[in-house]
Amino acid sequence: MMKSSQENWFTEVFGNEGTAFGLAVTEKLHQEQTRYQYLEVYQTRTFGKLMVLDGCVMLTERDNFLYHEMMSHPALFTHPEPRRVAIIGGGDCGTLREVLKHPGVEKCTQIDIDERVTWASEKWFPELCDANHDPRAELLFDDGIAWVRNAAPGSLDVIIIDSTDPVGPAEGLFAVDFYKDCRKALKPEGILVQQSESPLLHADTIIKKIHQDMKAAGFQQCHTLPFPQPVYPTGWWSCTMASPQGSVTRFRDDDSAAKSFATRYYNVDIHRGALAVPEFMKVALGK
């Protein structure tokens, strides 16, 4: 919503948590009701451009690298040899860009239900779309749940669930049946990555349920990696990795340290640090 003062503000209110986050905006660049959600793009005073879906902040130019790098590089350096990757959601294409920085990846298929999000990203956030025309990239605008269900067994090395919050169109991406389909589509040493909300707000609710559901779906290991994300609730976010048989806490640290591409946040020490579990999360997750 827009809040009047001496300057205009976009403010996202987290009513149940009694908190809010706001950015000073100088211009509304775009708004539309897509088939699935209400899409807005703003120019902010200090965080560059801002994308909003159904009133919730999706990304800004200034800090999206934190999320996109942590949703991709820990998983890809954990898998022994990631070649085939699927991204469910991810319509802004930032995670796709990070995945395809890995030269060993042979194909990355992105399945997002809303083509207009990718259109808006290409128009207003073109730096996120650098890999859209990479010959290894395949962009599909379809139901990601159905796509995974129909994927050939053992055909994928990594699945990244780059989704919005677990409500509305994304609710089915946080479910045991979907995780079972992901497990079937993955090879035994494959890695599943799920964006898993705020550790501070959701450790004993959403994150705990993700761990329970992934284990119920047959994943032997699950681990949540927190990372900073200033424009999301509490400024602290997370991803949860799981594997049918492989490890999610050991990674190719030598390869990570010698990575051939540039990042702004991720490095080998960040990866090691993100694997540490805060005490309150150990309690919430029963570790």
What letter would DSSP give residue 104? T
- Virtual torsion, Cα 216, 243, 108, 34, nearest 10 deg: 30
As a whole number of angstroms, the distance between CA 20 and CA 5 comes to: 16
DSSP assignment string, 224-271: EEEEE-TTSGGGEEEEEEEESSS-SS---HHHHHT-SS--SS--HHHH
**Helix or strand or coil: residue 32?**
strand
Catalytic (active-site) positions: 162
- Residue 89 and residue 161 in contact, taking contact as beta carbons nearer than 8 Å: yes
- Per 3-state DSSP, the chain is made up of helix, strand and coil in percentages (nearest 5) of 35, 30, 35
